[in-house]
Amino acid sequence: MRVLLIEDDKRLATLTKKVLEGESFDVDMSHNGDEGVEFALRGIYDVAVIDWMLPGRDGPSVVQAMRSAHLPTAVLMLTARTQVEDRVAGLYSGADDYLTKPFSYDELIARIHTLARRHTANTAVNSWELRIGQIVLDTRTRTARRAELSLDLTKTEWTLLECLMRHPGQTLSRQFIMDYVWSYEGKVQATMVDVYISYLRTKMSLPNQKDPIKTKRGVGYYLDEADA
């Protein structure tokens, strides 16, 4: 399960991330609302745990941005506010549930599991598949194919293709791709994006078919739905 944690208290965030990873959750972490929105809009998370009070955009604003983008991610709002009207405001912003601080980690984990089950139950049967044209990405088995061609991709190539497929037709900058594909690595050069785009293009090549990955010179790359 992929979880996004947006919490500005770095000490609390680090501890919470460690606890959640101990439950075998795959956790990304952000400490402010503006960056948190960028993470959330990747559209790859099952559950987002979002603090109400954040630098930049506050928690409800982050949730509103997610809902405006029609993301299916379940949202658990963390708040020190105990007034009923505050809790109601959080739910009206688009949050699915809330948890008041201080909280127990057992309760946090239980609520995340509950939201994830609800998310799964409300999602289409083949929601684990991304399909753009003839390209199919299976997020359960981390396999991919284009038409009848099974794509033998490395982990990095697979994640790069996932990044492009989650933003079809949208030109993605090298920095955006770097943040998505190499989020846990600090010393990645922008040229690595070009190298792996080249690898991916080679593996996806089909006779008499156009290259679905387009270059927008000076800007970045995008996946052309018409040629996919």
User: What is the edge-to-edge ordering of all strands in the sheet holding 2-6?
Assistant: 26-30, 2-6, 47-51, 74-79, 97-100
- Please identify, among 121, 143, 167, the residue that sits at the C-terminal boundary of a domain: 121
Say if residue 120's pLDDT is above 70: no
Task: Look up the domain containing 76 and give its range.
Answer: 2-121
Residue 141 and residue 97 share a domain: no
- Specify whether 41 is located in the same domain as 110: yes
Q: What average pLDDT does the chain have?
A: 86
Can you give the CATH number for the domain in which 71 is found?
3.40.50.2300
129 or 121, greater pLDDT? 129
Q: What is the 3-state secondary structure (H, E, C) of the chain?
A: CEEEEECCCHHHHHHHHHHHHHCCCEEEEECCHHHHHHHHCCCCCCEEEEECCCCCCCHHHHHHHHHHCCCCCEEEEEECCCCHHHHHHHHHCCCCEEEECCCCHHHHHHHHHHHHHHHHHCCCCCCCEEEECCEEEECCCCEEEECCEEECCCHHHHHHHHHHHCCCCCCEEHHHHHHHHCCCCCCCCCHHHHHHHHHHHHHHCCCCCCCCEEEECCCEEEECHHHC
Structure tokens at 96: 């699915």
Chain segment 1-27, per-residue pLDDT in tens? 899 999 999 999 999 999 999 999 999
Whether pLDDT at 116 is above 90: no
24 Rama sector, left if φ>0, alpha if ψ -120 to 50, beta otherwise:
left
* From 7-16, 143-152, 165-174, 203-212, the region with the lowest mean pLDDT: 165-174
Q: Please state, in angstroms and as integers, the Cα–Cα distance from residue 58 to each residue in 5, 61, 94, following that order.
A: 14, 5, 13
Percentage of the chain with pLDDT > 70? 88
The answer, yes or no, to whether the previous bond of 55 is cis (omega within 30 of 0) is no
Asked if 84 and 163 sit in the same domain, the reply is no
pLDDT score at 88: 58
C-alpha span between 174 and 153 (Å, rounded): 20
Does the pTM surpass 0.75? The reply is no
CATH of the domain at 134: 1.10.10.10
pLDDT of residue 125: 43
pLDDT per residue as tens digits for the range 49-82:
999 999 999 998 898 888 877 778 899 999 876 5
Q: Number of structural domains, the chain?
A: 2
Q: What is the pLDDT of residues 177-207, one digit of tens each?
A: 888 888 656 677 889 999 999 999 999 999 9
